[in-house]
Amino acid sequence: MQFQILDWDSDFFGVKVARIPRSNLDIHSLSATLAELKRQQVRLVYWSSDSECIDTDVKNLGGQLVDKKTTFAIDFSSVDAEDIAATDTVEPFIDAMPVDAFEALAVQSGEYSRFSVDSNIPNEKFVALYKTWINRSIRKEIAKEVLVIRDQGRIAGMVTLGEKNGRGDIGLIAVESGFRGKRYGETLVRGAQRWFIENGYKQGQVVTQGDNVPACNLYKKCGYAVEKVAYFYHFWL
């Protein structure tokens, strides 16, 4: 398959969007595929490459490196029981909690995302995308659980939990700016690990942006190790 038209993305962004599934294309094959997509009136193309491309080659094709997509993985057998001891600080989401607080956190969690980095995507679309993501997570459509930290009655942080490739997967995670410095990020990750272990998962993963240094350092601190890095490009045709 040379490419795949993405119906949901196309509807959401209001332009025809496609994905190139092969990650090992040379620049000539990539150029030919993009030319065909342009003939089919595709406007935005996603491509994830195994290696970083020459910047000028990408720019000449209308592309931009928007993410060094970094996958961290962990074997839960390596987690110290003391590190994930139960605490009253972390609790599951309940319907009485204010959804707008979670929407604000979700937008903060996407600060380094490719949909924020790509200046061709309107900010209101980026915001709407992350609000959609957290609302679908709260409704358990794309997440199995949402864990929360409250501080003096206010929503201070949250993390969404799901499953990918049989692993316990951390989706969105964020701590409200006014509550940072209290190690709530680490507490949320440890709470996520405890939930995954209690629900039978042997391994875990989390995908984040390579440029999000605080997040990368947090996952390393909690025992995750880099498994792979993919170079994610957007092409506007």
Would you state the pLDDT for residue 180? 87
Distance, CA of 234 to CA of 118 (rounded, Å): 8
Tens of pLDDT, residue by residue over 109-159, are 999 999 999 999 999 999 999 999 999 999 999 999 999 999 988 999 999
pLDDT at 208 over 80: yes
Q: Which two tokens stand for residue 201?
A: 């998962």
Q: Are 35 and 152 in contact (CB under 8 A)?
A: no
**Homologous superfamily of 72-229:** Gcn5-related N-acetyltransferase (GNAT) (3.40.630.30)
Tens of pLDDT, residue by residue over 163-191, are 999 999 999 999 998 898 899 999 999 99
More confident residue, 135 or 82: 135
Phi and psi of 157, rounded to 5°? -170, 165
* Stretch(es) of the chain classified as CATH 3.40.630.30: 72-229
pLDDT at 98 over 80: yes
Q: Minimal CA–CA distance to 71: which of 219, 184, 173? A: 219
- Mean pLDDT, rounded, of the chain: 95
Distance, CA of 18 to CA of 97 (rounded, Å): 37
